[in-house]
Amino acid sequence: WRSGGLAMERELGFGFTGIAGVYLARQQANAGRRCRRRNVVLARGETGGLPVHQRHFLHLDDRTGDEIKQLLNTAIDIKKRIRGDREFSPLSRKTMAMVFAKPSARTRVSFETGMFLMGGHALHLGQEIGIGTREATKDVARVLSGYNDIIMARLFKHQDIIELANYATVPVINGLTDFNHPCQVMADALTILETLGTLEGVKVVYVGDGNNMVHSWLELASRVPIDFVCCCPEVRKGFSLTTRLILASQLTEVL
């Protein structure tokens, strides 16, 4: 996807696909009655202290294939409505705290722009937060939940995003960890869907280290019938693929 126009659409897809999940959850919550918050230990795919109709966005394989397609179609719909309706502001008076333990250009710009275009406001929080060092992750989760409607975090340790979601009482979006990068892969999937009209049967070839991007592609491949080929160097510390994800995705080829 080399043209300038498609490149810009792809980068904005970072924010739209991540925030679209929160938008869907908010629609469902508004349609139902007020829900009681739960205080339980978060297991993979669970919602922690969220109302019943809200969910975190941490791993792609926490969703079903149909839910992933719904999220992508919602992102497409949001983009069209933003272009055609200047009054469309589904996140009006809502705030999103963006925690960046790891610096980024595209993740910050796309999320901040996406939040603005949907009528909300994003706060950039960097090294001053000191998540897990200056202040315990659970305390950061509680403080940010008290002031904001959404938390997006770009962190190093994957356990930190899990703990953040465990103690947060608002939806948490995984902006990247050393283990996976779900918003990036959803942005890629959105570009493919808008360009080719479908994801099913599309062949995706990845060449590079077996890193967090590959893990998210494997998560997607375990839920959507894509033909995924992964070309990685010999396994070495920090660049090995997770066996669980390889088996779950039924990876077409590993070279």
For the chain, give the mean pLDDT.
82
Q: What pLDDT was estimated at residue 72?
A: 96
Decide: 185 and 60 in contact? Cβ < 8 Å.
Answer: yes
Digit-coded pLDDT (tens) for 139-181: 999 999 999 999 999 999 999 999 999 999 999 999 999 999 9
Distance of CA 45 to the CA centre of its chain: 13
For residues 141 and 114, give the distance between their C-alpha atoms in angstroms, rounded to a whole number. 22
Asked if 216 and 241 count as a contact pair (C-beta separation under 8 A), the reply is no
Residues 6+ apart with CB under 8 A from 192: 199, 202, 204
The pLDDT value recorded for residue 93 is: 95
Q: What is the pLDDT of residue 231?
A: 87
Residue among 185, 182, 101 nearest 135 (CA) = 101
pLDDT of residue 5 exceeding 80: no
Total-model pTM: 0.81
| Beta-carbon contacts of residue 62 (< 8 Å; ≥ 6 apart) | 44, 45, 55, 56
Which pLDDT value is given to residue 40? Answer: 38
**pLDDT tens across 16-66, in order?**
666 666 666 556 555 544 333 333 344 454 455 788 889 999 999 999 999
